Amino acid sequence: MYKLWERPPGREQHAIIRGRVAAPTALSWLIALILITPIAQALDSLALNIGTLAGTQWKLESINITLIDLTRTPQQLALTIAKLSLPKPFDDLNLANIRCTDFTWQNQALNCKQGRADIRSKRWQSPSTDFSFQVTQQRSTFTLSNLQLAGGRIKITGEEQGERWQLRINAKAVEGRLLQQLLPLSGFELKTGKIDVKLQVSGSGGQVDAFILKAGLHGLTGQSEDGRFASEDLVLVSTVSGQYHNGLWQWQSHVEMNGGALYVEPLFLEAAGQEVALNAQGSWDAVNKQIDISSASYWHATIGELSGSATIRYRQGISLEQAALSLNSFNLQGLSETYLKPFLEQSALQGLRLSGHVKAKFSIHQQALSAWTASFNNLGLNDASSRVQIQGGAGTLNWSSDERLDQLSEFSWQRLQIGAIPIGSAKMSLSSRTDSIRLLNKIQLPVLGGSIAINHFSWQAKKQQEPEVSFEGSINKLSLEQLSAALDWTPLSGTISGPIPRVEYSNKTLSLGGELVIKVFDGEIKVSNLASSGLFTDFPKLHGDLEIDNLDLDQLTRRFEFGGITGRLSGYVRHLYMENWQPVTFFSWLGTPENDNSRRRISQKAVKNIASIGGGGASDLLSRSFLSFFETFGYDKLGLGCYLHDGVCQLMGVEALESGYVIISGGGLPRIDVIGYNSRVDWDVLIERLKRITTSEPSVSY
């Protein structure tokens, strides 16, 4: 039943028809009524209120069809809808104030070809946008175009057919800074840059079962509040796609960085014209909270490639269940600078730099490294602290946590330097097991004009303890001249030869299993009872004894700016105890041996320096008497001992006197005795005196 209302004369007139018949029938009725009713000529418009039209997933509310400009030809038919509610997962997005000027409604199909609509969402709103839609009982579609968002343009297309639906979003040149105002990112600030996004999502009901996302970042600059993530003028393209099947998401991804810089603590990546790309694919089990990466490849054009597979679980935190990785780097220097250096900062390995080529494989099980192998070619290692250097390194190193595997490793070098000590080319074979390394072949290391033989070496890891190390070898004709030059000591002459007994490091203690014999200055120095604890801490401790036998004083004193002495020297340092490489206590004696039959002479300079150690008066005597005319003097014996305790050195000589002690007992003509009067000297003062008298003047030969 329809009713026609007429407005009073003198005003524009229109008619409203209300009804609840089938929509296409009502529309036909309205048109027919216009054609056959004379009163229509007195009206400006006619309106048909359809009410609500609903489908299985969508809903149109307050539908009105209006025929306007009745007095003109042709008339204009307009459709207005108060609200369009969309199905899941688009139900957050509603269209309001829909106005459609080009539409058809027939055969139970409503088709709006050209219209405008307002966007309403819980998250954001937009000015009016171009809008079109088609609604049938079997299929519905809608399109939003020229949608303005954060300075960019967006087009959205949706389709629903039965339970199936699909959504496409194409966003261009969206301003990152303005987007953040609409969609705040907690803890991150976008400053500049634009974003392009293409998203295609499809599913059934409320379930997504396929998607393709393509994103492009152009000149993006931003930073997290904690400073752990930042970008500057970043240019990045990314594609991620996924398909849901049998309870699993199968996914693929590609990320490519083409410009700008990216910081992800502690790594800093700068494109600088070089390709950096990541490709990966795998599956995601949302129920069991597991991600399987079947294959992944990270490519850095000027450095190399890291590829592999992995399984990750995230039930209670993130757990790397297993992984197999392969690294192929043709530029270890670039790898070291970009990817290793940031992790080595503030560690014992800080300052290490690598160069050369490497191929490596790593296996990880239950978040622990289970095996690795690395093959090097032209390896170079440089330490900014000059602790170690390698040139021309090559070989293959293997390790496995499986104690049943005993893998052979080989490594050689052209040049090795430890501290200031250069070592010539050599090659070694090693056996590496889960927690041990053992040298398989005896090797000779060319060192300082001689060699060091390593007959035995082993390293054994201990749970919750420092590892145990064992070493045994020998020294053959190592040049003291080259050693002193390398260590920047006062030049020495002669060579060092002798066996190195078993040296062991266990329970944080380094110990010597026998005597270390050093042949030097035509005599011998024996080191015994050597032990050190806390060797690799900030407070090492050292115990030991030294026996000095028949050194040639002429050879010894020629190397120091002390003054010439001929004869022989023997003695000892017993019960030596050092903390942080500083003596705490010892008992020492250095003097003329009883069986010394050599010619014994001492220079005037040496007399003065020895006298200054013990506070004797020989210096004044030499300067005020005829003895000043003699350059050397004969002596019968000399000797000086020290007992160090509580920072004070108790001095003694070859003979005790009531007022002091004899340091040099004269013999022959001219004869001179050196008497020490200060029997107690502060250790630091004594060391300062020794430094002063050995470095004050250039070396003189006698």
pLDDT in tens, 218-228: 999 989 888 89
Grouping H, G, I as helix, E, B as strand and the rest as coil, residue 376 is strand
Distances (CA, A) of 233 to 185, 188, 236, 259, 337: 19, 16, 10, 7, 22
Look up residue 75 and give its two tokens.
């008339």
Of 141, 142, 180, the residue nearest 161 (C-alpha): 141
Measured CA to CA, the distance from residue 156 to residue 92 in angstroms comes to 14
Residues 22, 46 contacting (CB under 8 angstroms) = no
Residues 222, 193 contacting (CB under 8 angstroms) = yes
CA 51 to chain CA mean position, Å: 65
- What angle is formed at CA 601 by the lines to CA 600 and CA 605, rounded to 5 degrees? 145
- Strand ranges inside 179-303, DSSP E: 188-204, 207-224, 229-245, 248-264, 267-270, 276-285, 290-300
pLDDT grade for 649, boundaries at 50, 70 and 90: very high
Prior bond to 342 cis, omega within 30?
A: no
Q: Which residues pair with 648 in a beta bridge?
A: 645, 682
Name the helix (H) or strand (E) containing 182: helix 176-182
Q: Which residues pair with 410 in a beta bridge?
A: 396, 429
pLDDT grade for 110, boundaries at 50, 70 and 90: confident
Measured CA to CA, the distance from residue 557 to residue 566 in angstroms comes to 8
* Choice between 349 and 381, residue whose per-residue pLDDT is larger: 381
Of 305, 298, 228, the residue nearest 262 (C-alpha): 228
Q: Which residues pair with 371 in a beta bridge?
A: 363, 400
Measured CA to CA, the distance from residue 641 to residue 589 in angstroms comes to 4
Report the pLDDT value the prediction gives residue 383, as an integer from 0 to 100: 86
Helix axes 683-695, 604-614, angle to 10 degrees: 170
Mean pLDDT of the region 203-210? 85
390-425 b/e with 16+ CB inside 10 Å = b? Answer: bbebbbebbbbeeeeeebebebbbebbbeeebebee
Name the helix (H) or strand (E) containing 676: strand 674-676
Of 354, 363, 350, 308, the residue nearest 330 (C-alpha): 354
Q: Which residues pair with 144 in a beta bridge?
A: 131, 156
Provide CB contacts within 8 A for 9, sequence distance 6+: none
Mean pLDDT of the region 616-632? 51
Provide CB contacts within 8 A for 17, sequence distance 6+: 2, 3, 4, 26, 29, 30, 33, 46, 47, 48, 49
Report the pLDDT value the prediction gives residue 38, as an integer from 0 to 100: 46
DSSP letter (8 states) at residue 565: B
Q: What is the pLDDT of residues 436-480, one digit of tens each?
A: 889 998 999 999 999 999 999 998 888 777 788 898 998 888 888
555 phi, psi to nearest 5 deg: -65, -40
Look up residue 562 and give its two tokens.
């002390």
Exposed / middle / buried, residue 473 (Cβ in 10 Å: 0-12, 13-18, 19+): buried
Q: What percent of the chain has a predicted confidence (pLDDT) above 70?
A: 82
pLDDT grade for 47, boundaries at 50, 70 and 90: low
In the chain, the amino acid numbered 205 is: G
DSSP letter (8 states) at residue 491: P
Q: What is the pLDDT of residues 375-424, one digit of tens each?
A: 999 999 998 888 889 999 999 999 888 877 777 899 999 999 988 889 99
pTM: 0.69
Measured CA to CA, the distance from residue 172 to residue 154 in angstroms comes to 6
Given a cut of 90, whether residue 644 has pLDDT beyond it is yes
Query: Is beta strand 45-54 parallel, antiparallel or unpaired with respect to 14-18?
Result: parallel
